[in-house]
Amino acid sequence: MKVITREIYRDKIPKKWDDVTFRQYINLAKASDDYIKVLSLFLNIEYDTLKKAKVENFDLVVASLSFMKEQPAWQEYPVTLAGIKMPKDITWETIEQFEEMRKVILNHDINDALAQIEQYRHIVSIYYQPLKDGSDYDSEKAQYLLDSIDNMSCIEVISLGRFFFAKLISSINNIPNSFLKQTIRPKSRMQVFLTLTKRLGSTALFKRLRKGTYSSSVRY
């Protein structure tokens, strides 16, 4: 029988949402309310092995995960990723970046909320790569950064992803970013965002976006 001591789990169990990586967040969503699966992904121990293991001070482990009872507090106006300042207006970046993000958005199922969130890592990499490398945008280099983005804070990655996503939808469809305003309760913002995006999928404007027909008001 495996014994898991405090030395094994002390630095692996996050204490707040900021400590949860983007990949862990996605896997947590898939784990649903299975407590063993949650610990398995944090400790990187096989499910069946963990299920039969003894955990030292297990009550402390349970207590440390209490932050998961609260919804993550996404940043409405994210500024940085891994210490690097990110753009505030994506429509002033290169045409290539804008087009790359459009393609990412169009290649996901708008009826699958989790699949949409998973695409945020691609969206973020498009704007993170040139700033990190101090160079022009390179789509291949952006792809290479996906693994490192997976290991960054879910708060930063998801906040930036939905921010950039919203900016593109807002710019092309000429609609206000009202679903991110403070009038919406923090716990409801992500659902409102996903609902709006899903609704846009059935509109003529969004269908034009899928076909590559841009609004003349979009600024590159």
**pLDDT tens digits, residue range 70-88?**
888 889 889 999 999 998 8
Whether residue 103 sits in one domain with residue 64: no
Model pLDDT, residue 173: 62
Asked whether residue 218 is domain-assigned, the answer is no
Whether residue 53 sits in one domain with residue 100: no
Give the structural domain span for 93. 80-211
Asked whether residue 168 is domain-assigned, the answer is yes
On the question of pLDDT at 143 being above 90, the answer is: yes
On the question of pLDDT at 192 being above 80, the answer is: no
Which one is predicted more confidently, 126 or 5? 126
Model pLDDT, residue 160: 94
| Sequential DSSP letters for the chain | --EE-HHHHTTTS-SSGGGSBHHHHHHHHHHTT-HHHHHHHHHT--HHHHHT-EETTHHHHHHHGGGGGSPP---SS--EETTEEPPS-GGGS-HHHHHHHHHHHHTS-TT-HHHHHHTHHHHHHHHHHHHHHTSS--HHHHHHTHHHHHTSBHHHHHHHHHHHHHHHHHHHHT---GGGSTTS-HHHHHHHHHHHHHHHTTSHHHHHHHHT---TT---
Model pLDDT, residue 184: 35
Whether residue 184 sits in one domain with residue 130: yes
Asked whether residue 75 is domain-assigned, the answer is no
Whether residue 54 sits in one domain with residue 10: yes
Model pLDDT, residue 64: 83
Which one is predicted more confidently, 219 or 107? 107
Whether residue 195 sits in one domain with residue 114: yes
Highest mean pLDDT among 98-112, 147-161, 166-180: 147-161
Residue where one domain finishes, among candidates 40, 69, 98 = 69
Model pLDDT, residue 174: 56
pLDDT band at 220; cut points 50, 70, 90: very low
| Total count of domains within the chain | 2
pLDDT band at 172; cut points 50, 70, 90: low
In Å, the largest CA–CA distance within the chain is: 66
On the question of pLDDT at 21 being above 80, the answer is: yes
Asked whether residue 217 is domain-assigned, the answer is no
Asked whether residue 216 is domain-assigned, the answer is no
Whether residue 150 sits in one domain with residue 93: yes
Q: What is the identity of the amino acid at 72?
A: P
Average pLDDT, the chain: 77
**Checking phi first, is residue 89 left (phi over 0); if not, alpha (psi -120 to 50) or beta?**
beta
Model pLDDT, residue 185: 43
On the question of pLDDT at 191 being above 90, the answer is: no
Whether residue 65 sits in one domain with residue 89: no
